[in-house]
Amino acid sequence: MNLNNKTLLITGGTGSFGKNFINYLLKNHSNLKKIIIFSRDELKQYEIKKTLIKNKFFSKLRFFLGDVRDYQRLLIAFKNVDVVIHAAALKQVDTAEYNPMEFIKTNIIGGQNIIEASNYNKVKKVIALSTDKASSPINLYGATKLCSDKLFTSANHFFGEGSFSVVRYGNVAGSRGSVMPLFMSQHDTGFFNVTDKNMTRFNISLKESIELVMWSIKNCYGGEIVVPKLPSYKIVDLAKSINNKSKINFTGIREGEKIHEEMISLSESLNVLDIGNKYIILPYNRKKLSNYYIKKFNVKKIKKSFSYNSQNNSKFLSIIDLKKIIKKLKSENI
């Protein structure tokens, strides 16, 4: 999709992804008609306004207070919108275990509200952001995101093909609440708390996550889940890259936590296309969608018994690689 003179709305637009995505759009897609920042946090919207008030394209920004739980508010916000990027979610694993209904209301019912408001307003393209925790979930957060993924991919059956797609990726380096800023804040404490010595995670930068979403706006057919090929890292190596003199305390797995994350499960691999630097998870019995990718990209076959997880990944970040990432995050004041 060409974004010239289009209106784009970001739910959860004041989060880590939203703020960086807005800056990217203002710099690279100033021909957009409007950019709508939809979120429930008045203070964060005010802070973004202060940061961007001198930007020459500030007049293109619109700030909508609202919650994805509020369907009526979404109906108003989505009027004349061409593209919706759905980034709003409750995300803390341990918090979800204690407050399950709140996560269900935001991540599942909120997702359904996005779909229905988009359909009512004839939004042309909706990209929902997901997480590696949605694959074979063992915690409530992951389960709510899996339900959300299913809602968005299935919505194309009811509301017409081509509108709804999902992007699934791993830990965003430097995002609020992630492990890198946490460990960076513990640099001078003399120790790091690590739950398990074998723990691994996927890694993606904010820039890469934005590029992935932009690729999806341009290329997604509707109904698929887009999974980027990402490097993994060992949590222990991350701690060492920040301060190799600090002691590492192994505290034990927390409730709902995995030792290794997964983005494509063994069962899902039956419907996966390899298009080079990405995997495409297809819904069942969608030959038209499969043919679209086969014609457009150099598709490779997936091996039988394939799964894509952070433990068996072919690429791992070294301590030197992680030091470079940490240095960059520090220069960006993250």
Q: Which residues are catalytic?
A: 133
Is-contact 199 170, C-beta < 8 A?
no
Parallel/antiparallel/unpaired status of strands 262-264 and 308-309: antiparallel
Is-contact 226 278, C-beta < 8 A?
yes
Token pair in block for residue 144: 């709510």
Q: Nearest CA to 316 among 187, 197, 202?
A: 202
Give the integer Cα–Cα distance in Å for 270 and 221. 19
Q: Is 228 helix (H, G, I), strand (E, B) or coil?
A: strand
Q: Nearest CA to 41 among 14, 16, 23?
A: 14
**Neighbouring C-beta atoms of residue 215, cutoff 10 Å:** 16
First to last CA, the chain: 32
